[in-house]
Amino acid sequence: MLIKTGLRGVLRNKRRTLLTMLAISLALATLVLMNAFMDGTNHSMFEKIVENSGHIQLYAPGYYDESRTLPTDIAIGDLEATMETIGGIEGVVDSTAQIRFGGMVLHGGDDMGGFFIGVEPAGAARINNLDEKVIDGEYFADGDEDVCLVGKRMAELMKLEVGDPLTVVTQTAYGALTAMDFTVKGIVYTLNPMIDEGGLILDLEDVQRHLELPNAATAILVVGADMDSTIELRDRLLATLNPDGPPIIPEEGEIALTTAADDDLPLFAGDTTGGFEIPEDEVASPTRSGFEGYTWQELSATIIELTDFKNQAMDIIRGIMIILAAAMIANTMLTNVFERTREIGVLMAMGARGRQIISLFLTEAVFLGLLGSLVGVVLGAGVSLILAEVGIDMGSDVSSMISVPFDTVLYPLVEFTGIVQTFMLGVVMSLIAGLYPAVKAARLQPTKALRYL
């Protein structure tokens, strides 16, 4: 009986009911669409971050604290044995080594500061999909020596084309100034601003040779089964690689020295033209024992914080939309109360109690919420699914405007749980919005209500 009476009340003024349902539907459809785009954007961003950094990165002790300066004198040694050990650890799907360093690029009288990465060609293709990001020229091939891949924007700024020579000026792992000649083999567009705007990608073996880091690397990228199990995998890696406990990071001035015969010293040792002198037969070793490990969440903490801030800002927008829709429902219900004052008085005169009047109007509010929410989530999910197929192209300039890896084509991510939650939110919102009008109706005096015109 209550349901029948409530439904009749909803259909009493079809135009007003339709407008109220429309307000609820548009609010919830917009919420579903916004949530789908936010989830899709975050998912795409995190996937790109993992694609560039792996799930976990391993460094020599002290490297992370100095990572902004791209030091090459804090490196992981005995690389081949280390990679073999990592490959046998439970949960490791893949791994690859890198050497990152900075310097200057010289070409045709122009110079530009750059960010350089030495990669294992096969590993970078598997983990970073680097071979798929070559937009001109070719990827590394077996037998290549002293060739490089250039970021798209850097190639434009320095007028570099496939086959052009360039020179990289930097320091070796021992601090000596060195110049390296490379030939451009390809141009890449990675969606990583650091590489696209001013980066070179080199073969790891070439970099090891030029920077005097044989069988060494500054970082090892490790890929696990999924994004959610990175902490457990990181702890397992460090427990295996550091059997004696966490490594002790050497203080400044305590870098270990290795004793070597004169014939084994770096090439610059007997040449002081670079401004460096090697004291007798002692050379500071760039490799250190032990490992530090960081998950992709820790390495991207700033980006994740910005994402959280963005989510909070969107929550405010969502809240405003919900309040507007709730106000529309409350207005409709209050109007119903005023129009049906005499009817309420008759019901009370016949013995209806206050809680029954409240239940009647709350039932009408729930009907409005159910119908409006159902239409809203179906509309929002439908539009989101269509856009999830075609995507929205934001343009190639987007990657140059932000400092994080970001796909220029946005694809909404529609999740069933999110749709259900939005639907329930609409119903609860309608119930809350109808509470005040229902209480107001229940508090009417029967004698005054019967005389209301």
Residue 30: count other Cβ atoms within 10 Å of its Cβ. 18
Domain boundary among 288, 317, 337: 288
Give per-residue pLDDT as tens, 63-74: 999 988 999 999
Q: Is residue 234 part of a domain?
A: no
Number of domains making up the chain: 2
Residue showing tokens 């993992």: 50
pLDDT at position 272: 39
Residues 218 and 179 in one domain: yes
Residue 6 has pLDDT above 60, yes or no: no
Mean pLDDT of the region 405-433: 81
Mean pLDDT on 385-404: 68
Residue 325 lies in a domain: yes
Q: What's the distance, CA 289 to chain centroid?
A: 32
363 lies in the same domain as 413: yes
Region of 59 on the Ramachandran plot (φ > 0 left; ψ -120 to 50 alpha; else beta): beta
Q: Are residues 351 and 284 in the same domain?
A: no
Same domain, 9 and 102: no
Give me the mean pLDDT over the 54-62 stretch: 92
Contact present, 131 and 139 (Cβ < 8 Å): yes
Shared domain for 46 and 190, answered yes or no, is no
- Please, which pLDDT band fits residue 275 given cuts at 50, 70 and 90? very low
Q: Identify whether residues 280 and 306 lie together within a single domain.
A: no
> Is residue 312 domain-shared with residue 443, that is, in the same domain?
yes
Over 70: is that where the pLDDT of 405 sits? no
pLDDT higher than threshold 60 for residue 210: yes
Residue 245: pLDDT band with limits 50, 70, 90: confident
CA distance 215 to 229: 30
How much is the pLDDT for 92? Answer: 92
Residues 158 and 103 both lie in one domain: yes
Mean model confidence pLDDT for the chain: 81
- Kindly state the average pLDDT of the residues 18-23: 78
Task: Write phi, then psi, for 371 (nearest 5 degrees).
Answer: -65, -50
Residue 273 lies in a domain: yes
pTM above 0.85, yes or no: no
The answer to whether residue 88 sits within a structural domain is yes
Q: Examine residue 277 and state whether it is found in any structural domain, yes or no.
A: yes
- 387 and 441 share one domain: yes
Residues 318 and 411 in one domain: yes
Rounded Cα–Cα distance for residues 245 and 325 (Å): 58
69: Cβ contacts below 8 Å, ≥ 6 apart? 102
Domain boundary among 262, 288, 314: 288
Of 261, 288, 315, the residue that ends a domain is 288
Q: What is the mean pLDDT of residues 131-137?
A: 93
Q: Which residue in this structure is represented by tokens 């796909």? A: 407
Least confidently predicted of 162-166, 211-215, 254-258, 415-419: 254-258
Q: What is the pLDDT of residues 321-356, one digit of tens each?
A: 778 777 777 777 677 666 666 666 666 666 667 677
Whether residues 275 and 382 share a domain: the answer is no
Using CB atoms within 10 Å of the CB of residue 445, give its burial: 0 to 12 exposed, 13 to 18 middle, 19+ buried.
exposed
402, part of any domain: yes
Do 13 and 67 belong to one domain? no
Percent above pLDDT 70 for the chain = 78
Q: Which domain holds residue 36?
A: 2-51+302-450
